[in-house]
Amino acid sequence: MAQRRTNGSKLLMTVLCVVAACRAVPVTDLLDRASQRSDRLHSLSTMLTQELDSHFPPIGRVIMPRPAMCHTSSLQTPNDKEQALQVSESDLLSLARSLLRAWVDPLLVLSSSANTLPHPAQNSISNKIQELQEHSKSLGDGLNVLSGKMGPAAQTMSLLPYRGGNDLGQDKISKLINFQFLLSCLRRDSHKIDSFLKVLRCRAARMQPEMC
Amino acid sequence: MMKKFGEVILLLLLLLLFFVPHAEGTRYSLPGKPALTRCRSPEKETFTCWWEPGSDGGLPTTYALYYRKENSETVYECPDYHTAGKNSCFFNKNDTSIWVNYNITVVASNALGSTFSDPVDIDVVYIVKPNPPEKVAVTVMEDKGWPFLRVSWEPPHKADTRSGWITLIYELRVKLDGENEWEMHLAGQQKMFNIFSLRSGGRYLVQVRCKPDHGFWSEWSSASHIKVPDYFHRERSVWILITVFFAFIFLIVSWCIHINSHSLKHCILPPVPGPKIRGFDKQLLKNGKSEDIFSALVVSDFPPTSSSNYEDLLVEYLEVYIPEEQELILEESKDLHDGCLKPKGSTFDSDSGRGSCDSHTLLMDKCGEAKDDEQQTDQDGSQTGSEAQRQQAAWEQEALTYAHEDMISPDMSSGRVKTWPSVFSPLPQYSLSPLSQPSSLETAKQHCLSDSLFPPASLSSYLTQPGQSTKEALRSSYSDFCSSNKQPHLLHPQPDARHHLQAHSDVNISSIGHKEAPAGLQLPTVQSTEYVEVHTVNEDDMVLLHPVPSGHSHGKGCLQMHQGEDYSKVNGVDKNNVLLLQRDVIEEQVDMCPCENQDMNGATESCCTSAQKSIPCIHTTLPVQEEKAVNGYVDTATMFPLPIH
């Protein structure tokens, strides 16, 4: 009987120790990982636009829709540094999450269109879009975790529906133009996400200036 | 008058004034098209655009930059043309918006008109190129006696990395003073870097640059010079130690070699052995008396002048010894070819010289083949029946060889009974099956042989069984030699028969051996001796012997059967170790040439089967003199009483 009691107490102690040792990942680490992913996301989208631009019909540049036509342009984001640094962390995170969420559907459209894109680098483009989707998904999950740690304000998200439909165009030119337009919108939005997260990272790591 | 003259001059002047500019105006043109070369932002808060003016057009040209932001149609002009230098436009913080497309155009205008450049769309966040890092400091530090360089720097003061607005990564490069190759190092986000593996006393140059996470590399910072102190002496001392040590070792080794030089010389350069001829005296040669030398060389008893027994000279004459079966087997295996080849060197009188390869007509030719045949039999069990006969014949010869070489001295002078193949015949139960066309070599071979030799029913009555184990060994060795593949129905040897076989072999050997001794005294060319050769083995397990005339009347492998009685069949061995011969009356004469010579001929089998139409008298016991011969040869004429039945 006494032996069983000592065994039980030993077990309890070990369980407590394990629980205590298993601490949650600190927010700084989470933000660091998130910024790395968003960095990769933006690099991919930049490469995509450059690749598509290499064999782009000149007429397309002329009749390209303006960036204000991006489906995320309705979201109010800071326009310069002072504005950006005045935004609270929760709002920054919320903006980042909203933007990320807004690109889930368009990425699907891009992915399906990439298979039949009339472009010499179609294969490479298709692969990069695939990778983009994966990174986007994992970043979204990470940001969800982060928002849970940063309070209710971070949980709010703006809805930015994509209304471009599933088809990018009937003829080759319009297909390419729409593809390029979407990619340019994605490039900017991914840069916004990346910037917000890096600002957040630096703010969270006040005690560790080497992070910035 | 004067007034009129003044008016005319005024008019002329006016005209001149009017025309002159008009004449010069043809060389003026619109200004050339300017082009925006680049726009850069050093910290993502301001940016500058530069343009390249086009041709002048001859007139003073002014340039203006106009821009339009993404969402509005309002056209603004450049706020600052001077801060960034000539042909530039600087946008300060108030005028800079990020994540907004700027549509910028440069206009060149002169008195004649304006020329617009191509518009350029830029977003400030994509054109970031920071200033080089500042306060680059290089110091020499030591790590356990080995020096290294520590480089540290700071980000450009304009770039706001503190707030995370800009994230910079750094890169530095190092090279020795005077060299061309730079060594690049990526430092990531850290602001400090260590460089190792320095040359002592070298003078190094270090430069650093930076890049935003998504932007352009900055320019290299100005080079920082550093000199690494000498740590030469420390290296040298190590080398001195090593040199001294090796010199010491070298001294010891050379001394050892010197001590042992003589024996080493013998080891490395062994002396060439001189010729050693018994009775040869080098001194004599040196003295120069050749007669003495060569007389000393003469051996009195060489060459042999008196003729001794031929038997002494004959190589094949071997003492018969009946050892354990293992020794027999060993000797068999290794002497087979020796025996085959020896006869070639022996005397060629009609009776002798056959040695173990006995009938030169038969066996000497086949001796070389015997080995192949043997191998063939061993390895290829699926040979056709036609091949079987050849193998069988060869096998018989081999068996003869064995018998003669190992157990009998091949006495050339006496007749030989080449019955010994029976000794090595494989399992006698092969005889049980009728001589059907064997599909495999072994079947045919064994079939023929065993059939002729051992009537199955009569075996038990004949044989004693001395030392069965040894005989089994003998048999087993032979069977290995003979064939490796046995028919399934042959896999159940009758042990009795085997023992009988072995006993028989022993008996044969011993009896023949004894007999051979006296026969051996007979010198060759005894025409009266009959040679009996085992020719074939018929289906009754009988070895068919054919007397061979001493003349070489038979051709290559062609045996002719003679008329009349034929005492060449060995019937069996009775329990008194007596070889039982059977007299057959041969009705037909068969030309056995095809049987002997053809390799893959199924006819050989038929020869075998058809050769002997004699009455199978195998069941009759024939009393035979027991002959304990030294060798295995049997002289049918002298040894055995002819069985009459």
**Within a domain: A2:** no
Which range marks the domain in which residue A55 is found?
23-211
Whether residues A79 and B101 touch (CB distance < 8 A) is answered with: no
pTM for the whole structure: 0.52
Asked if B160 has any chain A CB less than 8 Å from its own CB, the reply is yes
What is the number of domains present in chain A?
A: 1
What values do phi and psi take at A115, rounded to 5? -65, -30
Q: Nearest chain A Cα to B169, which residue?
A: A212
Q: Give the Cβ contact number of residue A94 at 10 Å.
A: 22
**Which residue is listed with tokens 């601490």?**
A23
What per-residue confidence (pLDDT) applies to A208? Answer: 78
Whether residues B125 and A194 touch (CB distance < 8 A) is answered with: no
What values do phi and psi take at A165, rounded to 5? 80, 175
* pLDDT < 70 stretches in chain B: 16-26, 232-235, 279-285, 288-290, 292-293, 296-569, 579, 583-645
**Within a domain: A135:** yes
What per-residue confidence (pLDDT) applies to B218? Answer: 95
What values do phi and psi take at B62, rounded to 5? -115, 150
Closest by CA position to B76, among listed B65, B90, B84:
B65
Tokens of B553: 């009347």
According to DSSP, the β-strands at B578-585 and B134-143 are unpaired
What per-residue confidence (pLDDT) applies to B599? Answer: 42
What per-residue confidence (pLDDT) applies to A21? Answer: 57
What per-residue confidence (pLDDT) applies to B274? Answer: 76
Average pLDDT, chain A: 87
Say how many residues make up chain B.
Answer: 645
The kind and range of the H/E element at B134 are strand B134-143
- Give Cβ neighbours of residue B390 (< 8 Å, ≥ 6 apart): B373, B598, B599, B600, B601, B604
What per-residue confidence (pLDDT) applies to B55? Answer: 82
Asked if B162 has any chain A CB less than 8 Å from its own CB, the reply is yes
The kind and range of the H/E element at B195 are strand B192-195
d(CA B205, nearest CA chain A) in Å: 26
Q: B16: burial class by Cβ within 10 Å (0-12, 13-18, 19+)?
A: exposed
Q: Give the one of A42, A77, A203 whose C-beta lies nearest to B99's C-beta.
A: A77
Size of interface A-B (CB pairs under 8 A): 63
Tokens of B477: 């060795």
**Within a domain: A83:** yes
Q: For residue B405, what is the DSSP state?
A: I
Instruction: Indicate whether A43 pLDDT > 70.
Output: yes
**Within a domain: A10:** no
Where helices occur in B110-202 by DSSP H, the ranges are none
Output A118 or A14, whichever has higher pLDDT. Answer: A118
What values do phi and psi take at B57, rounded to 5? 80, 5
The CATH number covering residue A154 comes to 1.20.1250.10
pLDDT > 70 in chain A, percent = 96
**Which residue is listed with tokens 């003589």?**
B262
What per-residue confidence (pLDDT) applies to A181? Answer: 92
Output A139 or B619, whichever has higher pLDDT. Answer: A139
What values do phi and psi take at B605, rounded to 5? -65, -45
Asked if B214 has any chain A CB less than 8 Å from its own CB, the reply is yes
For residues B411 and B638, is the Cβ–Cβ distance under 8 A? no
Q: Give the one of B45, B123, B190 whose C-beta lies nearest to A80's C-beta.
A: B45
Suggest the residue from A41, A76, A95, A188 to mutate for an interface test with chain B (most B CBs closer than 10 A).
A188
For residues B64 and B75, is the Cβ–Cβ distance under 8 A? no
Give the C-alpha separation, B581 to B88, whole Å: 132
What per-residue confidence (pLDDT) applies to B32? Answer: 87
**Which residue is listed with tokens 């004599």?**
B284
**Within a domain: A48:** yes
For residues B172 and B208, is the Cβ–Cβ distance under 8 A? yes
Q: Give the Cβ contact number of residue B413 at 10 Å.
A: 25
**Within a domain: A61:** yes
**Within a domain: A6:** no
Whether residues B164 and A203 touch (CB distance < 8 A) is answered with: yes
Asked if A63 has any chain B CB less than 8 Å from its own CB, the reply is no
Asked if B123 has any chain A CB less than 8 Å from its own CB, the reply is yes
Q: For residue A114, what is the DSSP state?
A: H
Tokens of B552: 């070489």
Whether residues A68 and B160 touch (CB distance < 8 A) is answered with: no
- B 47-106: CB under 8 A from A: 70-71, 93, 96-101
Give the C-alpha separation, B363 to B355, whole Å: 10
Specify the amino acid at residue A37.
R
What values do phi and psi take at B403, rounded to 5? -60, -40
Asked if B248 has any chain A CB less than 8 Å from its own CB, the reply is no
Give the C-alpha separation, B412 to B346, whole Å: 9
**Within a domain: A192:** yes
Whether residues B164 and A210 touch (CB distance < 8 A) is answered with: no
Tokens of B85: 């230098």
> Which chain A residues have a beta carbon less than 8 Å from that of B162?
202, 209, 212
